[in-house]
Each structure stands twice: as structure tokens, then as C-alpha cells.
Amino acid sequence: MFQRNSTRVLLTLAALALLTGAAASEAQARTLVFSGLDWEVKSGSGRGPGPNLWSDGEENVWVDAEGSLHLRITYRSGEWRCAEVHTRQTTGYGLHRFYVEGRPDLLDKNVVFSPFIYMSDTEEMDIEFSRWGEENPGFNAQMAVQPARPENLKRFSLRLPGGVSTQEIDWRPESIRFRIFADAGEDPSGRRAAAEEWTYWGGDNPAENSARVHINLWLYKGAPPSDGRESEIVVRAVDLPAF
């Protein structure tokens, strides 16, 4: 009996230690303010997507004097370090707009840039720029809804020669509309033509459930950039629905 009770005590203490460690890690996460919102910076090794080494250092994630968010993949001490942020506040139905500066259409084949809405691995809405490790796959971007199914994905090739773009995820109870504009302007009239768009009407549209907005820059399968170069994307601002 004593041995059994001792085992229970040890298991309880171990569980408490894990919970305490997780809480401490959450409490110690670096935060920043961008577009009037609080964002948490991801850190840790061996974590997905990838898996990758995620850095919360200011070389990888920072907000400049003009208020723009910078995400950068860096090579330090023999390791490639990736960048991701997510809102502390939850989001819900409505238009999510990202004003992006840079050329995500020209990223190395192993690099991925994505603004997305995330609840779980099977409840997620993504705009993703990547060639997914392929040299000439015939596409460099996709719009997707999780879980991964052929009908939940649209892939395409897109050029953004002006170096700026506006990317939108308009999440509604009955549909999800993705749009990318090859400029940084707003569209109050709704008549401006998108460079690429897709509306999803399928059954995997998630219900509102503690969703958060994420933006990341990472390496597919953790593979180093084939060109050996660091990458950077700037997000000038985001507009999110009140929730």
C-alpha cells in the first residue's frame, strides 16, 4: 500500500511539475505590440511546422520605428532560426487583412510565408507562399482550409513585382473568401480586381472557437534554404474584425 501511494504521489508531483513548467513558459513568452494588438512570439526547438527552431530574438522578430512587423529567418551558431507571432486576443468571423511588404512570391523553395487563422491542426485557414521544396512545381502560393483534402486547397502561380501586396481572409459562417491584391491599397468600393482569389464553401469551415491570427516565416520540413540565404518579410499592418 505504501509503495502504491508513493507512486501516486510521485506521478502527481510530476504532473504538477509539467503544468507549472508549461505555465512558466507561457508567462515568459516575449510579447510585442503591432497594429494596436498584443502579439506573442513563438520560441523553442523541434516544434512545428517544420519542425524548426523558433526564435523570439529581436534579430528574428521586431517592430520598427514606423510600426511595421519584421519576420526574418536567420542563420546563427550553425542553426537556422525561424519566426512566428500570434495574437493574444482571439478572433472570429469577419475580414482579416494583411498589408505585406516584400516578395513572398520569390522566396527560396524551402521557405514558407503565411498569414493564417488557427484553432487546431484541423481547424485552420491559410494563405501560404511556398514551392514546398520543389524547384519548378508550377505554383508558388496556395489558399487552404484544414484538414488537408484536395477540395480544401487552391494552388497557383503569382507575381508581386511591386513588392507590396494586400492579403485577405474573409471568414463567414457559410464561406471563407481568400484574396490577394498586388498592391497595398484598400478597396472601399469592392470593385478592385484581385490578383488571385478563391471562395471555399465546403464542410470544413470551422466554427468560432478561440481562433487566433498567426503570421510566420519558416522552413519546409526544417530544410535549410537551398540558396543559403536569410529571408525577411515585412507586414506593415493588419486589420482584424472586432471580436
Count of other CB atoms within 10 angstroms of residue 39: 24
Is 180 within the bounds of a domain? yes
Q: Is residue 54 part of a domain?
A: yes
pLDDT the model gives residue 192: 75
CATH of the domain at 208: 2.60.120.200
Q: How many domains does the chain have?
A: 1
Asked if residue 7 belongs to a domain, the reply is: no
Calpha distance 176→95 (Å, rounded):
10
Residue ranges making up the domain that contains 146: 30-239
Q: Is the pLDDT of residue 19 over 50?
A: no
Would 25 be classed as within a structural domain? no
Residue 22 lies in a domain: no
* Lowest mean pLDDT across 33-42, 109-118, 178-187, 194-203: 178-187
Ramachandran quadrant class, 12 (left: phi over 0; alpha: psi -120 to 50; beta: rest): alpha
Confidence label for 187 from pLDDT (cuts 50, 70 and 90): low
pLDDT tier at 184, thresholds 50, 70, 90: confident
- Is a pLDDT exceeding 70 seen at residue 82? yes
Give pTM, 2 decimals.
Answer: 0.87
- The grid coordinates of residue 107 equal 522566396
Nearest Cα neighbor of 86 from 51, 61, 52, 107 is 61
Range name among 77-81, 133-137, 184-188 with the lowest pLDDT average: 184-188
Better pLDDT: 27 or 179: 179
Higher confidence at residue 47 or residue 21? 47
- Kindly tell me if the per-residue pLDDT of 14 is higher than 50: no
Which pLDDT band, with edges at 50, 70 and 90, does 195 fall under? very high
pLDDT of 170 above 60? yes
Tell me what pLDDT residue 32 has. Answer: 98
In a domain, 197, yes or no: yes
Question: What is the rounded distance in angstroms from the CA atom of residue 172 to the CA atom of residue 207?
Answer: 9
Q: What phi and psi, each to the nearest 5 degrees, are found at residue 138?
A: 90, 5
